[in-house]
Structure formats: C-alpha cells, structure tokens
Amino acid sequence: MNNSLNNLSPLDGRYSDRISDVALLFSESALIQKRFDIEIEWLLFVLNENFYQTIKISKKDIKRIKKFQADFNNSYAKKIKSIENKTNHDVKAVEYFINDFLKKNGLEKFVSYVHLGLTSEDVNSLAYALMIRDITDKSISSLNELNKKIKFLATKYKNISFLARTHGQPASPSTLGKELLVFNKRLKRQLVIVKNIKPMAKWGGATGNYHTIHIANQKRDPVTIATKFIRKFNIEHNKVTTQIEPHDWIAEISHSFIRINNIVDDLNKDMWLYIANDIYALKTVENEVGSSTMPHKVNPIDFENSEGNIGLANALFNYFAEKLSKSRLQRDLSDSTTIRNVGVAFGYSIISYKSTLNGLNKISPNKKKIKDELNENWSVLSEAVQTVMRLENIDNAYEKLKELTRGKSLNKQKYIEFINDLNISSKNKEYLLKLKPENYIGVAPKLK
C-alpha cells in the first residue's frame, strides 16, 4: 500500500491498495513501455518487411534487440522520462532512447529505421488502444466477480417473498432473489455489449494519408502494410483518419461503462433503501465504528462509497465521450491531456464494484421484519381479487376493490369476509381464500 499522505488523488492514496494492479495498467510507466514496445516492433517489422533500401538484419541482431525490449524496467522508464524533460516530446524521447542503445551496442546501422515513416500519434493511438483494452478487461473481471455474487444471492433468496414497493408505497409482493436477478441480467447484457467493442488504432502518418510509408514502399499498398502491423497486436486498424485516431471507439466504451455504472448505482440505491427499511440487516464487523457519537450505528457505507465513486467515474466517462470524439481539422492537442486520464475513470469504477461487492457480503434478510410487513398489507391482494372478478364478468371490479382498500387498512379477517361475500365460482373462491401476501408472488422464484 502507498503510505504517502500527500497524494492529490485518493486513487493514489486512500484507495491505492484496492487498485494497485489497475494503476500499473495505466501509469506513466505503462504508457512509456507500450510506446517502447511498439517502436521496437515497428523497427523489426520495417527490417523484416524489406522496406526500400533497408539493411538486412541477422537473427543474432534480432535476438539482441528483442532482449533489450524484454529487459524493460523502471530504469528504462526513468531514462526515457529524463530525455523527455529535455526534448519536451514524449514519443521522440522513446526514439532517442532506442537510438542510444543501438549506437552503444554496435547496432548503429539500424538507427535510421527507428520511427521510420511514423508520426507520434501513430504510436500513441496504438499504445492507448492496448492500455484501454487491458484496463477494460480488468474492469470486466471485477464486474464478473460482482455479478457472480449478485447471481448467487438471487438464487439463494429466490423464495424469500417480501413486500415490493412502487412509488415508495406497498405493491404486489416479489422475492428478494428476483429483484437481485434483475440487476444480474442487466449487467450481463451490458457486458456482452462492451466486450464486442473493438479497440482501434491508426497508422497513417502526419495527416492520415500514409505519405511516408508509401515513399518507403512505392510498389506496395501502404494501407495493407499498416494493417498487417496493427494486427500483430490484435487491434483493429482504423484506415481512414486525420493525424489522430478519432476515438469513437473510446466514446463507445465510455458510454457502455456509464450504463454499467448506472446499473451498479441503481443496485446501491436499492440496497440502501432495503437496509433503511430493515428488509436487509447488515453484519457487524468487530472494531468497526459506525458513528463517532452513536455507538449503535451500523451504516451501509460500502454502498454509499460505491455510489460516490461511480459519480466521479461517470462524470469522467461522459467527458471522454463528449471531448475525445471531436478535434479541430486534422488535429489539435486537447485530446492528448484528456486521454491520459481515461485510467482514472476505470480506477473509480473498479473501486465502486469492489465496494458494492463488500456491501453484498455483509447483508442478510431480516425475515421477521419481512413477514410482519407482509402480514400488515393484505390490501396488496386487491390486484388478484379484482382480476378474478373481471374474469367472472363482475362489473366495476376495480372500483369495488378501490373502495375497499385505497387509503384504508385491510387485515386478514376483512379480506376473508370480502371474498366469502363474492358471487364467484367455488374454485376461484377457494383460490383467493388460500392466497396470502407472502405467497402472492407470481412466478418470481422460477424466473432465470
């Protein structure tokens, strides 16, 4: 855990132990390494593809360069950053670092082919595509863990009926499991959508017209060459762009995670209300304090924490979707500083998923409260009664039940008296007399 108390962002301080592995995927060091790997791979690609007048490279030299690539560590990143401080250009710093290695290791004949035919945005677009793919996969893994827990509880509680509420008022009963299943299904659908979004990168040079690759390979299609290289990384090649990849796919991912996060937040809010209404009880944690002055407090802090972090994540995702898909003419630099923060939104999201999961691990149904609440609300059976009355062609069925129940207390005795006075078939009368709020749950336990 990061023990520094001087970090500006809680992601790097208070919450660092929760997302340490996530931070590594979108750190400055990670970005530098991705650029470094891409530049090395492109160098070897250029040499192996026999670009115009390129020097042939031996297997021995390929092995030496590959070892240099594999040995990337924090010292590499620091040296590249030091070069950047002088050049004030991040991608050029990587190029100079590689050139320095080649010169010092008898490989100077390959220096002119480093970064050949590229603009920095080619490298950056591929680097960010790889990083966003990695952090998306990490987020999906965290969501799968959360959704697995939701499905487990949905199955475990599928037969526990309780008083549902619409507009905050008593409504036709449901089961705790079915209501959790709703969230499981919603998340499952959105996860399918986000998994199908393909990360994209461009490789077309300064204004997207493949000028320099075309010069280096005048007898070959430069678009085909670029596509062949991009596919080495399992990334889709966006063939027609300006200097920058237009980031529409990032907007798609951002919008997907906004929807995913809204679903998780909807669950947070429901759980908060269920706990507030004693439908669920929270397990106590030894030595945990709920209030600085009220010793009895056991608060739904995990759901509240998740809600707050989702708000931060979605504010960022919304901005990314709005901002990154717009650029002046062939490019401006406003996307550069923006895209560096994409990992922050994922960081807040993953914290929220873990907090919601922690909250779900602490809940248990308050069966006494649930039973008492059902027994106090026999009026919810009015829906069933008026439906049977309609089927038996009794006029004004709805109005008669409205007169009996709306704004009035209906207990078991009054309910039975009303049913016995109905002029309906013995079969339907028997059905209604057996009906109770706790068993009026439709097919809720059978839904999958």
CA distance 31 to 35: 6
Catalytic residue among 9, 20, 291, 334: 291
Q: How far apart are CA 174 and CA 277, in angstroms?
A: 16
The residue length of the chain stands at: 448
Q: Which residue type, as a one-letter code, is found at position 239?
A: K
Contact present, 441 and 161 (Cβ < 8 Å): yes
> d(Cα 302, Cα 285) in Å, to the nearest integer?
13
Q: How far apart are the first and last CA of the chain?
A: 41
Angle at 43 between CA 37 and CA 46, to 5 degrees: 135
Name residues whose C-beta falls within 8 Å of residue 53's C-beta, 6 or more positions apart in sequence: none
**142 labelled catalytic:** no
| C-beta separation of 179 from 274 below 8 A | no
Can you tell me whether residue 235 is helix, strand or coil?
Answer: coil
Looking at 4, 58, 167, 426, which residue is catalytic? Answer: 167
Question: Quick one: which of 50, 364, 316 has its CA closest to 176?
Answer: 364
Number of C-beta neighbours around residue 26 at 10 A? 24
CA distance 57 to 47: 7
Identify the three-state secondary structure at position 58: coil
Is 214 part of the annotated catalytic residue set? Answer: no
Would you tell me how many other CB atoms lie within 10 Å of the CB of residue 303? 28
Residue 311: CA atoms inside 13 Å, Cβ hemisphere, count?
A: 8
What amino acid positions are annotated as catalytic residues?
167, 291
